[in-house]
Chains A and B, each alone.
Chain A
């Protein structure tokens, strides 16, 4: 059996899954140290463990590291070593960071000779003397963590690896991250991600060890995995080295969980909360990623968030009837005091849903006298807004299945334009934890190929093989691995017919009996 845990800002949810069956779900408040909340939730969850059953693995999704960045706390003094000279000097490392975050990590930056051209040639030889001087300076400054970035390291990572080895040799106590392990071209974004990763390293190691120990103390003998941004898992050691890969995992787990609960692999998820509605597209069971770079704590990174459209419409959204106006204000979590059906004085979308008979909540008598034409017009308008949002995230004109999740989904009828069917899965309140529990193991590789010497198919095959190998090394069962995404971008203005290929492969965790997929 699998245990999925979602540590959110407010609640820690835990679910117990037996293959495709949800056995039990628990929701408890999140604790400041994270670990206590996880232990409490798991203890309650496992109390219901059927006789003879055991937990085979624990999967945790957490926003803990994201929050550390947002609050600029528990970050290690971090240096950035860029291998680039004489290129890129006008934009030194951390150039587009918010001042307070740069200060929070110390803001130590070094640029030295090294790095590569787009076709793999060296910009200049690696300047070992300068690297030694930089490391000596880092030690003087009290730096504890280093991010190494090299120009075009996704094409050729040798300089980064050699520089990292030098840093480890000169200063074995420094934690070192290299940027090419996070893929993707885009120097500033990739370097920023590596730097955030370096700054989070100590906190990640401490937190993840803490969770591991806590699981042990519960008497659970099962490996720990963390969910990462793209909806796949990493083991505890890997996660200790790459905490930055968790920072966008929340929305991904939510959509993956909704996909699982509804059985939709290709379609739309509409998550209606108290204040807003998030609408996103599922492709092959994974959320579609946004095309533009994601800002995390004010820093541009090369990570992609699920591409969702958010509209200010939820169960607590305030309605004015004359003239008709719906939101954007919401009574939010105060709905249970302020809504008319709960004896409050504010007309909300939930009251209209009750008046129209769509929802049974509170005291329907309190809205019995509502003008039928207002009810009709509000429902029509809510429907129109959600349908517009669905249409914006759809990938084509075809009708697709739509899953409605979240407490506010009572506002919507069972017919939506653009939907081939409308599904309302049960247990959608723990979608995030389920998303963590059902996650697979993946590998993603991005490379630039010149098609002069090889065909397109050959380039894609080479990149796919690398992605599969990475998935296996991350713990995937080779028999279950499939390539789920191939993205090819021909490079314009490069006559050598170069193309950038990105491949993602995923598979089930190796060594698990039953599959939740």
Chain B
């Protein structure tokens, strides 16, 4: 067990940015909210999945809405309200919370609700990275029902979606409710058992985010190479290093799709990497050959500082290094690939695991 105090939040935000693989939203507002919650209600205990009591009831909470709205009507305590709504509906008390998505701003959501509710957070999440859609969670892939789920706003409104025929319907219904609520809601899913968490969650990702952030900060302080520091914490490899020469974007059906082209420098001089993204980086080709493909993680960081670079900040001239990390094992099984493999995103590419 460890405690998430104000000090850990900055590291978690940096690490969550790296694990966000280009998407996941900017964690600044989330980090500030978590800081306020921890100042007000105290630090949050973080439990590894095997430290959970056998009879734990674990509620997954997350934000739903539009990031561009979230910087204006900044979220309040919606995740706490959603938690209480699902507890009321199911008649069960949560004993711990868990993140739906460690990548980006959703890493902070359970810490905020947990601080207020006085509950611990599980050191795990439902993605081990960032993904654009609600149904892309290991919990649901491995049989945890996505309903009932509650959606709550900041005004005191909450809606419980009792049952849907599949998680896509849950996403669709929750999203229409969210728009009416003003596009910055939070949701909470009916409690999972300890057994379900241990079997279906990607383990130890909150401490991974913290350690990644610590490594980057300490490398900067000591003038060490932040990329080495990142790779020493999380096994993976440098896929490519170079300069962004083109970013082509288009927004379709609410998703920011595009293609990023990087020309190599130093060891990669004369070579080119092309990355296709849909909010997150999904397919990386090195001189035409597949170098890394979703669900493996394709992370762009600023070459000099190790700072994660999201797709919306990409532009000509940035010096970036592309890191590849193997996907959590839960995503590489056939059930996982069916939901979040390259075919699920419409790419005619087979998944070949990244060799580290």
Contacts and interface: CB of A to CB of B under 8 A. Distances in A.
Asked if A and B are interacting partners, one says yes
Interface of A: 86-91, 95-96, 115, 117-118, 121, 123-124, 151-152, 185-188, 291-292, 391-397, 489-496, 500
A186 B66 contact: no
B256 A492 contact: yes
A90 B73 contact: no
B279 A492 contact: yes
Contact of B73 (A123, A291, A396): A123
A291 B315 contact: yes
A91 B317 contact: no
A87 B74 CA distance: 8
B57 to A, nearest CB: 25
A152 B184 CA distance: 13
B183 A494 contact: yes
How many residues of B sit at the interface, in one of the four size bands? 35 or more
Contacts of B279: 492
In the A-B complex, list the 4 residue pairs whose CB atoms are closest, starting with the nearest. A490-B251, A493-B66, A117-B182, A392-B317
Given A492-B67, A492-B68, A494-B68, A395 B76 contact: no
B316 interface: yes
A87 B36 contact: no
B77 interface: yes
B74 A393 contact: no
A502 to B, nearest CB: 13
Interface of A is mostly: loop
B68 A495 contact: no
Given A91-B36, A118-B182, A491 B76 contact: no
Contacts of B183: 117-118, 493-494
Contact of A494 (B73, B74, B245, B254): B254
A185 B316 contact: no
B179 A496 contact: yes
A118 B73 contact: yes
B32 A397 contact: no
A393 B75 CA distance: 35
A96 B66 contact: no
B243 interface: yes
A152 B65 contact: no
Given A90-B37, A291-B313, A492-B279, A392 B73 contact: no
Interface string B36-71: 110000000000000000000000000001111101
16 contacts: A86-B156, A87-B182, A91-B33, A95-B32, A117-B182, A123-B182, A152-B73, A188-B29, A292-B313, A490-B256, A491-B69, A492-B254, A493-B65, A493-B66, A493-B67, A494-B66
Contacts of A391: 243, 317
A96 to B, nearest CB: 6
A292 B302 CA distance: 15
Contacts of A186: 71-72
Given A121-B182, A123-B73, A395-B317, 20 more contacts: A87-B74, A88-B73, A88-B154, A90-B36, A90-B76, A90-B112, A91-B33, A95-B36, A118-B182, A151-B73, A152-B72, A185-B68, A185-B72, A187-B71, A187-B72, A491-B68, A491-B69, A493-B66, A494-B66, A496-B179
Nearest to B178: A493
A95 B37 CA distance: 12
A88 B316 CA distance: 35
B313 A185 contact: no
B222 interface: no
Contact of A397 (B74, B245, B253, B255): B245
B175 interface: yes
A489 B67 CA distance: 12
B339 interface: no
A291 B311 CA distance: 12
A391 B279 CA distance: 27
A118 B75 CA distance: 13
Contact of B32 (A96, A393, A496): A96
Interface in B224-246: 243, 245
B155 interface: yes
A91 B67 contact: no
Nearest to A92: B36
Contact of A185 (B32, B71, B318): B71
A186 B255 CA distance: 21
B72 A151 contact: yes
A86 B76 CA distance: 9
Contacts of A151: 72-73
B84 interface: no
Contacts of B313: 291-292
B66 A393 contact: no
Contacts of A500: 68
Which of A186, A391, A491 is most buried by chain B, counting CB atoms within 10 A of its CB?
A: A491
Contact of A394 (B65, B76, B254, B316): B316
Contacts of A87: 73-74, 76, 154-155, 182
Given A95-B32, A152-B72, A493-B65, A90 B317 contact: no
A185 B32 CA distance: 18
Contact of A396 (B32, B72, B316, B319): B316
Contacts of A394: 316-317
Nearest to A292: B313
Contacts of A152: 72-73
A489 B68 contact: yes
Contacts of B256: 490, 492
B182 A495 contact: no
Interface string B152-170: 0011100000000000000
A231 to B, nearest CB: 21
Contacts of A392: 317-319
B179 A494 contact: yes
A187 B74 contact: yes
Nearest to B265: A388
Nearest to A186: B71
Contacts of B29: 91, 188
